[in-house]
Amino acid sequence: VSIFRRVSAPDEQGAKRHDVRAIHVDLNDLLRRGNIANNLILQAQDVVYIPKPDAVFVFGEVAKAGPVPLPEGGMSLVEAINKAGGVSKFASSKRTRVLRMVNGQEKVIQVDMAAVIRGDLGKDITLRSNDIVIVPESVF
């Protein structure tokens, strides 16, 4: 289960920035082992998602945030963003990141989508089931 929580924090210039924080909850550990560390208190506007297998999740400055079905043959990051309606005019596609669970640990993969769009396809990555794509807001 994933909980997506909107968080605000000041940037380097002190301006308030909004972002999405992904919190992964191991329900199996909570329900079978009684590990209360996985019993989170929800906050207003939290989004709880119980993923179906074979989907990625695109959030942030895109036209249609949410789950994107992952086809059998796989999908690249640029394909997933396109399926989410593309980036908004407020997007900082240079700072796109992918959150991926690897051996129970969250791994953050930075991707310069602006370079991919300019034709540097070597910077595009293949997404895996349950990856979370975050396209952050641009700093003006």
Burial class of residue 79, CB neighbours in 10 A (0-12, 13-18, 19+): middle
Distance between CA 61 and CA 51 in Å, rounded?
21
Report pLDDT for 140: 62
Give the pLDDT mean for 4-22: 77
List the beta bridge partners of residue 86: none
Question: Is residue 85 within 8 Å of 62, Cβ to Cβ?
Answer: yes
pLDDT in tens, 49-105: 886 668 999 999 999 999 999 988 889 999 999 999 999 888 888 899 999 999 888
Question: Is residue 36 within 8 Å of 28, Cβ to Cβ?
Answer: no
Question: Is residue 77 within 8 Å of 113, Cβ to Cβ?
Answer: yes
Give the pLDDT mean for 36-54: 84
Report pLDDT for 51: 66
Residues in contact with 41: Cβ distance below 8 Å, sequence separation at least 6, in sequence order: none
What domains lie within the chain, and their CATH numbers? 2-135 (3.10.560.10)
Q: State the average pLDDT for the chain.
A: 88
CA torsion sign, 107 to 86 to 6 to 38?
negative
